[in-house]
Amino acid sequence: MSSRLPFIDALKALAAQLIVLHHLAFYGPMSDHAHALTPDLISWLSQDARYAVQVFLVLGGFLAVQSLAPAGRLRTTAPLGLLWKRYCKLVGPYVVAVLLALLSAAIGRMLMEHDSLPARPSLSQVLAHALLLQSILGYEGLSAGVWYIAIDFQLFALLLGLLWLARQVAAGAAREAVVASCLVATLGVASLYHFNLEAEWDSWGVYFFGSYALGVASYWVTNGQSQRAAWWLLPVVTLVALALLLEYRPRIAVALVVALTLALARRYGVLERWPKSSVVGYLGRTSYSLFLVHFPVCLLVNALFSRFGVQDPWFNLGGLVIAWLASMAAAALFFRFVEDALAQPGRLTAAAAPVRQTP
């Protein structure tokens, strides 16, 4: 039986599609020419659709704590090994995607001149990307959205560190969950009320930890079967509402809505039951591949259409649709031959071995 949650796959699928459309509207000459046909839509996609990343931040916290400490107590006795495993899981497909981005950018520079094209990279820039340090060290991203992979790893490390600290501080298992909740809440509040208000922190996980902590909270507060457990949502909502009154940030408002939606969906069993769609499930499973590979594809399609030199809005709107569809096709291939293959390397060996009949 599948262990996947259809509702979470649906959220991933929707958020990934919005991120692709956001980058299509924001980068490249095709959207500039197509803007005259649908100015409101393209303007919304280029500006507001980026808030879909909050879905991934909240889901990241929800799924991380489900794996690490579903009852508030850290499961693993080897946190560093678990952190290394997380790094390998993220970076394997990510490095392949960065190499594809370098290739597509090199081709793009031969076909067009546009400010969406990244400059030729240095070796240190490539190494910084492989170590997930590009934003911290001040390097330009080699592909759109690669900053998020580094932030996701930092957030996972922060949560793992807080859970480990709770184990060291607590006198026993009963207190560990309480201490863990307090530590996560403290850093979450610090993020909402301080770090997330200062743009210079946006290369660090603490800037985003408020959204991530909302995902953690949405899991923990719905852990109990009693009606009383859901009342813990009230102080969570109050703290976020006060942070929004201090300074309204649409990204935090979106994160709160996603966290409440997750909590209610888990509370009433929707996570496991809806939607019953194999297509949505597949789009959810391949969302990371789509996130990684869409920009190189969109860059190539933009470069090819730019080479034609046609500025007709309908022609370029068709190019945007082609780039969108090509991104999903590339994601399916990337998932099959890169992400899934790296996650289960034994499959590669099995595929190369002679087929045997089993009794």
DSSP readout, 135-165? Answer: TTTTPPPSSTTHHHHHHHHHHHHHHHHHHHH
Q: Over 90: is that where the pLDDT of 309 sits?
A: no
pLDDT tens digits along 172-227 = 777 999 999 999 999 999 999 999 999 999 999 999 999 999 999 999 999 865 55
Pair 15, 211: CB distance under 8 Å = no
Per-residue confidence at 230, pLDDT binned at 50, 70, 90?
low
Q: Over 70: is that where the pLDDT of 307 sits?
A: yes
Pair 169, 194: CB distance under 8 Å = no
CA 189 – CA 209 distance, rounded (Å): 9
Pair 330, 58: CB distance under 8 Å = no
Q: Over 80: is that where the pLDDT of 353 sits?
A: no
Q: Over 80: is that where the pLDDT of 358 sits?
A: no
Location of structure tokens 């499930």: 281
pLDDT tens digits along 88-133 = 999 999 999 999 999 999 999 999 888 878 889 999 999 999 999 9
**Closest among 257, 278, 289, 217 to 6, alpha carbons compared:** 278
Write down the H helix ranges in the chain: 6-26, 29-34, 39-47, 53-68, 79-111, 123-130, 146-169, 173-193, 205-220, 233-246, 250-267, 270-273, 278-285, 287-308, 313-334, 340-343, 346-352
Q: What is the pLDDT of residue 348?
A: 36
Average confidence score pLDDT of the chain: 91
pLDDT tens digits along 133-165 = 999 999 999 999 899 999 999 999 999 999 999
Q: What is the pLDDT of residue 205?
A: 98
pLDDT tens digits along 236-263 = 999 999 999 999 999 999 999 999 999 9
**Closest among 174, 346, 2, 189 to 166, alpha carbons compared:** 174
Per-residue confidence at 292, pLDDT binned at 50, 70, 90?
very high
Location of structure tokens 């899991």: 219
* Mean pLDDT of the 257-272 span: 93
Q: Where are the domains of the chain?
A: 6-343
Those residues whose C-beta lies under 8 Å from the C-beta of residue 195, and which sit 6 or more positions away, are 201, 204, 206, 207, 209, 210
Q: Over 70: is that where the pLDDT of 351 sits?
A: no
Predicted model pTM: 0.93
Pair 37, 300: CB distance under 8 Å = no
